[in-house]
Amino acid sequence: MKSTLKVGHRGAKGYISENTLPSIQKALDLNVDGIEIDVHLCASGELVVFHDFTLDRMTNGTGEIGKQTLSQLQNLLVDGKYKIPTLTEVLDLIHAKCLLNIELKGEKTALPTVKLLHQYFDKGTWTYNNVLISSFQRKELEAVYNFDERMSLGVLTKASVNASIRFAKTINAVAIHPNFALLSKNNVKEAQDEGFKVNAWTVNDFESIERIKSYGVDAIISDFPDRI
One symbol per residue from 93 to 112: x for binding Ca ion (CB under 5 A), - otherwise; what is it?
A: ----------x---------
Evaluated on CA atoms 105, 38, 179, 150, the torsion sign reads positive
Spell out the residues 6+ positions from residue 165 whose beta carbon is closer than 8 angstroms to its own.
155, 176, 191, 194, 196
* 223 near ligand G3P, judged by CB under 6 A: no
One symbol per residue from 10 to 49: x for binding Ca ion (CB under 5 A), - otherwise; what is it?
A: ----------------------------x-----------
Rounded to 10°, the helix 110-123/87-94 angle is: 30
Find the binding residues for ligand G3P in span 71-100 (CB under 6 A). none
Nearest-approach distance from CB 18 to Ca ion, in angstroms = 9
Find the binding residues for ligand G3P in span 142-161 (CB under 6 A). 156
* 204 near ligand G3P, judged by CB under 6 A: no
Find the binding residues for ligand G3P in span 10-69 (CB under 6 A). 36, 38, 51
| CB-CB contact of 47 with 116 (8 Å) | yes
| CB-CB contact of 157 with 165 (8 Å) | no
- Residues pairing with 100 in the sheet: 35, 131
Q: Which of 6, 40, 177, 197 binds ligand G3P (CB under 6 A)?
A: 177
